[in-house]
Structure 1
């Protein structure tokens, strides 16, 4: 089987130590977590983990099965990139002299639909939301000018298809 990108969605009770146990599942199989985001879900007291991996579907299926064995996990799913709508966010800190002295910097900002978050005497901060490759392209465009700081969020996603998790989560909420 061929490696590809998978997004794993894990719905769980909000429990201390669960992230550690989930990451241990990946560690045992020597699979790197490329992106991780944890947030509340659409159901009260239920968290959603969004985990991105680059591996085979067989390994992904086995990982999801192991994750579902955790007591606090309500349900886990995996999807290919074609089956979800997803975004990442990034923040760039750049030397403020470049904003005023390098015309190309303003063009990069416009071309990549970035937003200026703040401008200070010594630096300015840009925000970019999009797919990983769009953020990478913007990073590559700024790199020759120097990036003072850079940070990227984990992937966030929703499935294109209706997910059966909604019914499971409603039942969970009624029982708690």
Structure 2
């Protein structure tokens, strides 16, 4: 693949947890008219350091420029980018469905079993399914459940760890000392 071809990249940004940083980072993408496919923020493996995981579809030259702009932010400790082949990732989906379908539609039970989805809660009105996996798996489950009626649906942003050891772990250990 050439550096000019667009593909999905996962950007990992390690930062101090400061108010307003998300706005400044998203503005970097907005100024370049780059759509953010997915965004997740969470604590990192080091206390006091947050991790942003941002998924974008662009070419490698562009992603390198974006990384440079992100790292200019004062609170950013380090930013990396990886192709989806270089990471282990998951996305979660939640599906809220009428409870009567769980008991009256045998096919729903089969769909749950075949998709390795997990029932999170059940009450008289509704039940909630959770499915983790690749985006395609979540969308596939959605497509199978949609004909029965989905009351509510949401999908998380991508969360990821790298396949290779990252030097950030060593850098972050020195950060808090």
Q: Any residues of structure 2 matched to 1:101-116 within 5 Å, and which?
A: 101-116=104-119
Q: Name 2:172's counterpart in structure 1.
A: 169
Q: Name 2:63's counterpart in structure 1.
A: 60
Consecutive unaligned residues in structure 2, runs of 5 or more = none
- Superposed displacement of residue 100, structure 1: 1.3
1:160 to 158, 163, 169: 163
2:78 to 75, 80, 90: 75
- Superposed displacement of residue 141, structure 1: 0.6
Q: Any residues of structure 2 matched to 1:1-176 within 5 Å, and which?
A: 1-174=4-177
Measured against aligned partners, the alpha-carbon deviations of 1:5-29 in whole angstroms (never above 9, x if no partner) come to 1000000111111000000001001
Q: Give the Cα separation in 1 of the matches to 2:111 and 2:31.
A: 42
- Superposed displacement of residue 66, structure 1: 0.4
Measured against aligned partners, the alpha-carbon deviations of 1:114-167 in whole angstroms (never above 9, x if no partner) come to 111111112111011111111011011111111100011111100011111112
Aligned alpha-carbon RMSD (Å): 0.8
Q: Give the Cα separation in 2 of the matches to 1:60 and 1:111.
A: 38
Q: Give the Cα separation in 2 of the matches to 1:68 and 1:146.
A: 45
Measured against aligned partners, the alpha-carbon deviations of 1:9-57 in whole angstroms (never above 9, x if no partner) come to 0001111110000000010011111111111111111000001111111
Q: Give the Cα separation in 2 of the matches to 1:87 and 1:112.
A: 15
- Superposed displacement of residue 95, structure 1: 1.2
TM-score (norm 2): 0.96
Q: Give the Cα separation in 1 of the matches to 2:124 and 2:19.
A: 42
Consecutive unaligned residues in structure 1, runs of 5 or more = none
Q: Which of structure 1's runs of 4+ aligned residues deviate more than 2 A? A: none
Aligned residues: 174
Q: Give the Cα separation in 2 of the matches to 1:45 and 1:118.
A: 33
